[in-house]
Chains A and B, each alone.
Chain A
């Protein structure tokens, strides 16, 4: 009977060891790489990162994207989640269609929207048929940074809303119908019910979705590269370039550390801002 005490530890040991070796150790190593130099720990790589021509642009772009995409996605996903609840017939089909993007990588999403927005792409075809343009317009060049930004926002909106959607729907299913019914009985309109009952009860799901989505937002780079190429630098694409083209792991690591710090700060901010108030269930 004694070995029963050890059983749980034996069961979690492999996963723990694995995560230690392939998560924790590389994490430390990343930080070490960023501070590395021939003469011991220094901020040299960070200097290089800050001195990067594209650094400021990358920072602006990354934050710009995150600040625009995440709220839009939340609004859209919330709307979709509420619509799904109202749906009676065809629920399964709609649910599957709306979650298809879950299986689509940001690279694929980038390629998809590339095919639509490229010079000889579908958007121009539609606009041509509508008589709005006479010949193909190029939207995705450095001459039109706004259009580029917009294109990336669309692609990300298209792809990653499903992730938020699924988390919110799962959360909504946990909200007992009685609360909203009670609200109706006591006179709340649909909008009031949503604002004062549904939304607060969804708080834990919203918190999780926000954290997840924000972390992902700072991680996505393939869609940017696919649509914008090097015209639209973001922090993580810069990290990739430094590693891939310049073979400079140190500076790439500096970018990585910056990204980690930002996402950690964001996570803490979400945890604080959306923590359960006294008396609320966690």
Chain B
């Protein structure tokens, strides 16, 4: 029995890997294959007409490129806000035993039991009044609400992993609280904080509902692609899909070491 288990196991792993990667390859083909590629049939499984010039002209005319830039803008803001708001809170939860700590942690966890994107609906109304409608900032704010709980929980766990004694030693040998944090805790927590930041970026980059509700003329990539789903040529959709995926793939690769730690932490 053992002898067929091993190859079966390997086969299973390979199949699952292929199942994950091949569709991405195919959408890349579809996106980069040029106008011709989309309508040929049967489809070739390797790139036939590959032209970068075509691609770049295509990007600007179809409006994908500006949408991409806007997505970057929104995601960068989300990343910045999440870290700026979440890291101090994570530190507080890790280092201080204060009344209300548990209530706060519970509140943070509760937000994840809600479909946050839906909250964009009333926000659309408020935003019009506040002048935030159809702005990158407006979308970034709701995205931050999405990513913030995650940032708080993960940074909290990060700081817990850094022995308190290190900060105490720094304070005995001449640092103030803030200086001890800067010189001792931050350098050690930096990789984890960076990974959290990247993950916040990815969360914002991928979000669809809120982005679609809150933008009209200045759409992010996801909102844009959604709006042109039925109208634009298939080629545009495939290119857009591919462009949506690639940055995320790169980012996930960068943080792969921290993925499990982060998700494990965030779900406890």
Contacts and interface: CB of A to CB of B under 8 A. Distances in A.
A and B associate in one complex:
yes
Interface of A: 7-9, 11-12, 14-16, 18-19, 22-23, 26-27, 29-30, 32-33, 80, 83, 86-87, 92, 94-108, 110-116, 118, 120-122, 124-125, 128-129, 136, 158, 166-167, 169-171, 173-174, 204-205, 208-209, 211-212, 215-216, 218-219, 221-222, 225-226, 229, 236, 239-240, 243-244, 249, 252-253, 256, 259-260, 263-264, 267
B115 A100 contact: no
Interface stretch (B46-54, B55-63, B121-129, B184-192): B121-129
Mostly, the B contact residues are helix
Interface of B: 9, 12-13, 16-17, 19-21, 23-24, 26-27, 30, 38-43, 45, 81, 84-86, 88-89, 91-93, 95-96, 98, 100-101, 104, 107-108, 111-126, 141-142, 144-145, 148-149, 152, 177, 202, 205-209, 212-213, 222, 225-226, 229-230, 234, 237-238, 240-241, 244-245, 248-249, 251-253, 256, 259-261, 263-265, 267-268
Contacts of B149: 19
A61 B240 CA distance: 27
A105 B208 contact: yes
A136 B38 CA distance: 14
Contacts of B12: 83
Contacts of A209: 267
A92 B263 CA distance: 17
20 contacts: A14-B85, A18-B148, A26-B121, A26-B123, A97-B21, A102-B252, A103-B206, A103-B248, A116-B23, A120-B38, A120-B43, A128-B42, A136-B41, A158-B20, A170-B264, A211-B112, A212-B267, A218-B115, A219-B115, A260-B115
B209 A219 contact: yes
A19 B107 contact: yes
B88 A11 contact: yes
A265 to B, nearest CB: 11
A100 B259 contact: no
Contacts of B117: 219
Given A94-B13, A100-B252, A240-B212, A27 B119 contact: yes
A11 B24 contact: no
A171 B222 contact: no
B37 to A, nearest CB: 10
A166 to B, nearest CB: 4
Given A23-B111, A26-B123, A100-B21, A8 B226 contact: no
Nearest to B243: A108
B253 A115 contact: no
B173 to A, nearest CB: 19
A-B complex: 5 closest residue pairs judged by Cβ atoms = A170-B264, A103-B248, A111-B241, A105-B206, A29-B122
B264 A167 contact: yes
A74 to B, nearest CB: 14
A208 B259 CA distance: 16
A249 B124 contact: yes
Contacts of A259: 115, 118
Contacts of A104: 206, 244-245, 248-249
Contacts of B88: 11-12, 14-15
A23 B144 contact: no
Contact of B23 (A107, A118, A158): A158
B213 A15 contact: no
B267 A226 contact: no
A33 B259 contact: no
A23 B41 contact: no
A184 to B, nearest CB: 15
Contacts of A253: 121-122
Given A173-B260, A243-B213, A105 B207 contact: yes
Contact of A208 (B118, B251, B268): B268
Given A8-B98, A14-B88, A102 B259 contact: yes
